[in-house]
Amino acid sequence: IESRLEKLKSMLNKELITEEEYNHYFHKWLYTYGGATDVVSLEDYIKRFDITLSVMQTPQALERTSYELIEDVSKENVRYIEVRYSPILHTEKDMTISDSVEAVRAGLKRGEKDFGVKSGIIVCGIRNISSEASLKLAEQYQGIKKSKL
Chain center to CA of 108:
12
77 burial level (CB within 10 Å; 0-12, 13-18, 19+): exposed
Q: 123 - beta bridge partners?
A: 85
44 burial level (CB within 10 Å; 0-12, 13-18, 19+): exposed
pLDDT digits (tens, 9 = 90+) for 78-117: 999 999 888 888 878 888 888 888 999 999 999 999 999 9
Residue 63 CB contacts under 8 Å (≥ 6 apart), including other chains: 103, 104, 106, 107, 110
User: What integer pLDDT is reported at residue 3 of this predicted model?
Assistant: 60
Q: Which of 104-108, 125-129, 145-149 has the lowest mean pLDDT?
A: 145-149
Q: Quote the pTM value.
A: 0.63
Alpha helices in 19-93 (DSSP H): 19-33, 42-47, 50-54, 59-74
Q: Are 64 and 107 in contact (CB under 8 A)?
A: yes
Most confident range (mean pLDDT) of 7-21, 22-36, 110-124 is 110-124
pLDDT digits (tens, 9 = 90+) for 31-72: 555 554 454 455 666 677 777 777 788 899 899 999 999 999
Kindly tell me if the per-residue pLDDT of 18 is higher than 80. Answer: no
Q: How many alpha carbons fall within 13 Å on the CB side of residue 15? A: 0
